């Protein structure tokens, strides 16, 4: 007998959520697919609903109205606000951690304290709840130093301070309300030197399965210059993460974290994303995210051969043990097309043409900040499109991705032209 179809709601509106929807779409178990609020790319796979993912009551009403039995929560905000708990209490499966477990992303101080208690390698740190104490500590702390708002600050709450004045200003800004409630406390930690990499795991309590590696490009311009962004491109797998190094990261960082969360009475279920610094002394945890990254999802999910919906159901139902994931052998590389001026001020509403031409070349084009206005595709966000290519090598993936980028007609957009340079240096 065929198993029952599952009607699914994907929460979010970015490139990550488009990649999730595209990965779910081929599953034989999928019934109807909904997204909230979604975007024009996601609309090709299902029905978009005009509701706020942070409005728990609205999400629950939609689930009841449309018979939705599984909610895949894309962004961190609803997770940290406890949406998974509300859904579970209503008898609806939720893919994503409880509010208590989401503190791994929602509170940097929580994660640092957990690492300290369980011997998980990370940077040395101090926590502060008063600006005067933070400033006193910074008076003679070694430089450079990293100042972090404790809570969720949309990726803007971290300052790598090269001078004492910059460090003190970052502390004053945080306590002065620049990041809202996220700056009610600070974590100040040592500066780690090395290469950054991202390692993903899918977790069901103490069951931990590797879910890919990636490297992204945070700076806005070629050569890693310009302001930090949400990510201008990524590739997967990351060659720097050799099998031996990946095994070490799981043994020393990710598995001990999952076991620690069980011991703390806050078992983690969902995607655990470890941002790492590969130091001379070994890999160290920079921070955790409790969901797929963006744009990392756009290079990890296209490589997944296994039925993503079945994997999600195994996590929700506590049956992840014994699951074996299948991966395509190709390398995936994505280039982010952003509004000119991003991440600072930028104009919205410009027209985008040629997405179909890019797709016809063999690339996947994920929508991240688009809308349909009067029948025309327009740019409404900072990061607007993610052009992803799969190919046998990093160089071939890069070539195909940029060939597809160049097929898109959007004069108000820009991109980096060197995505993948670290991997190419190793090729």
Q: How much is the average pLDDT of 265-291?
A: 97
The proportion of the chain whose per-residue pLDDT surpasses 90, expressed as a percent, equals 94
Q: What is the pLDDT of residue 49?
A: 98
Q: What is the pLDDT of residue 127?
A: 97
How are strands ordered across the β-sheet holding 145-149?
125-128, 186-190, 145-149, 158-161
Read off the pLDDT band of 40 (50, 70, 90). very high
Read off the pLDDT band of 349 (50, 70, 90). very high
Q: What is the pLDDT of residue 427?
A: 72
Q: pLDDT by residue (tens digit) across 212-236?
A: 999 999 999 999 999 889 999 999 9
Read off the pLDDT band of 155 (50, 70, 90). confident
Q: How much is the average pLDDT of 231-246?
A: 97
Buried b (16+ CB within 10 A) or exposed e, 210-228: bbbbbbbbeebbeeeeeee
Q: What is the pLDDT of residue 116?
A: 98
Task: Please state at what angle helix 15-24 crosses helix 308-316, rounded to 10 degrees.
Answer: 100
pLDDT score of 99 more than 80:
yes
Q: What is the DSSP string of 26-56?
A: T-TTEEEEEEEE--TTGGGTSEE----TT-H
Q: How far out from the chain centre does Cα 281 lie?
A: 26
Q: What is the pLDDT of residue 2?
A: 67
Determine how β-strand 331-339 pairs with β-strand 413-414: antiparallel
* CA–CA distance, 16 with 295 (Å, rounded to integer): 6
Domains, in order of start, for the chain: 6-98 (3.40.50.20), 124-190 (3.30.1490.20), 195-316 (3.30.470.20), 331-426 (3.90.600.10)
Cα angle 182, 152, 293 (rounded to 5 degrees) comes to: 170
If 0-12 CB within 10 Å is exposed, 13-18 middle and 19+ buried, where does residue 55 land?
middle
Instruction: Decide if 387 contacts 380 (C-beta within 8 A).
Output: no
Q: How much is the average pLDDT of 105-125?
A: 97
Mean pLDDT (the chain, rounded): 96
SS (H, E, C) 103-162: HHHHCHHHHHHHHHHHCCCECCEEEECCHHHHHHHHCCCCCCEEEEECCCCCCCCEEEEC
Q: How much is the average pLDDT of 77-90?
A: 98
Distances (CA, A) of 261 to 93, 122, 316: 21, 17, 17
Read off the pLDDT band of 21 (50, 70, 90). very high
pLDDT score of 1 more than 70:
no
What token pair was written down for 43?
A: 């609309």
Q: What is the pLDDT of residue 238?
A: 97
Lowest-confidence region among 132-146, 149-163, 192-206 = 149-163
Q: pLDDT by residue (tens digit) across 251-265?
A: 999 999 999 999 999
Buried b (16+ CB within 10 A) or exposed e, 36-46: bebbebbeebb
The proportion of the chain whose per-residue pLDDT surpasses 70, expressed as a percent, equals 100
Q: How much is the average pLDDT of 2-26?
A: 95
pTM: 0.96
Read off the pLDDT band of 426 (50, 70, 90). confident
pLDDT score of 287 more than 60:
yes
Q: What is the pLDDT of residue 154?
A: 76
Smallest Cα–Cα separation from 197: which of 172, 219, 214?
Answer: 214
Q: What is the pLDDT of residue 185?
A: 94
Q: How much is the average pLDDT of 419-427?
A: 90
Q: What is the pLDDT of residue 350?
A: 97
Q: pLDDT by residue (tens digit) across 46-58?
A: 999 999 999 999 9
Q: pLDDT by residue (tens digit) across 397-414?
A: 999 999 999 999 999 999
Q: What is the pLDDT of residue 24?
A: 98
* CA–CA distance, 91 with 37 (Å, rounded to integer): 22
Read off the pLDDT band of 425 (50, 70, 90). confident
pLDDT score of 415 more than 90:
yes
Read off the pLDDT band of 156 (50, 70, 90). confident
Q: How much is the average pLDDT of 8-26?
A: 98
Q: What is the pLDDT of residue 153?
A: 85
């Amino acid at each position: 007998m065929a198993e029952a179809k599952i009607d699914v709601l994907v929460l979010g509106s970015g490139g990550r959520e488009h990649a999730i929807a595209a990965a779910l779409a081929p599953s034989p178990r999928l019934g109807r697919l909904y997204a909230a609020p979604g975007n024009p790319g996601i609309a090709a796979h299902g029905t978009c609903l005009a509701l706020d993912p942070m409005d728990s009551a609205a999400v629950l009403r939609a689930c009841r109205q449309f018979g939705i039995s599984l909610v895949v929560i894309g962004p961190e905000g609803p997770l940290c606000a406890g949406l998974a708990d509300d859904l579970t209490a209503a008898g609806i499966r939720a893919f994503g951690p409880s509010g208590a477990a989401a503190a791994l992303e929602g509170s940097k101080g929580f994660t640092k304290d957990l690492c300290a208690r369980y011997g998980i390698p990370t940077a040395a740190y101090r926590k502060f709840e008063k600006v005067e104490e933070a400033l006193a500590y910074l008076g003679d702390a070694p430089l450079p130093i990293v100042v972090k708002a404790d809570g969720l600050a949309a990726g803007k709450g971290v300052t790598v301070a090269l001078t004492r004045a910059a460090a003190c200003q970052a502390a004053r800004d945080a306590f002065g309300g620049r990041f809202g409630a996220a700056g009610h406390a600070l974590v100040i930690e040592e500066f780690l030197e090395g290469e950054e990499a991202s390692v993903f795991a899918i977790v069901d309590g103490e069951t931990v399965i590797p879910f890919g590696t990636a490297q992204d490009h945070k700076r806005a311009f070629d050569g890693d210059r310009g302001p930090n962004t949400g990510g201008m491109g990524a590739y997967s797998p990351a060659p720097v993460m050799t099998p031996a190094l990946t095994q070490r990261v799981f043994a020393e960082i990710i598995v001990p974290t999952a076991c620690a969360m069980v011991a703390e009475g806050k078992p983690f279920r969902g995607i655990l994303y470890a941002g790492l610094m590969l130091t001379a002394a070994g890999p160290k945890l920079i921070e955790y995210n409790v969901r797929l990254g963006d744009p990392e999802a756009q290079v990890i999910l296209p490589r997944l051969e296994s039925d993503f919906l079945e994997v999600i159901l195994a996590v929700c139902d506590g049956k992840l043990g014994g699951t074996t994931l299948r991966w395509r052998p190709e390398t995936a590389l994505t280039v982010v097309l952003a509004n000119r001026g991003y991440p600072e001020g930028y104009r919205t509403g410009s027209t985008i043409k040629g997405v179909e031409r890019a797709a016809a070349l063999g690339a996947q084009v994920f929508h991240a900040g688009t809308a349909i206005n009067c029948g025309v595709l327009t740019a409404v966000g900072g990061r607007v499109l993610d052009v992803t290519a799969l190919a046998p090598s990093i160089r071939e993936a890069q070539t195909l991705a940029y060939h597809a980028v160049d097929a898109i007609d959007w004069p108000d957009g820009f991109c980096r032209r060197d995505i993948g340079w670290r991997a190419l240096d190793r090729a």
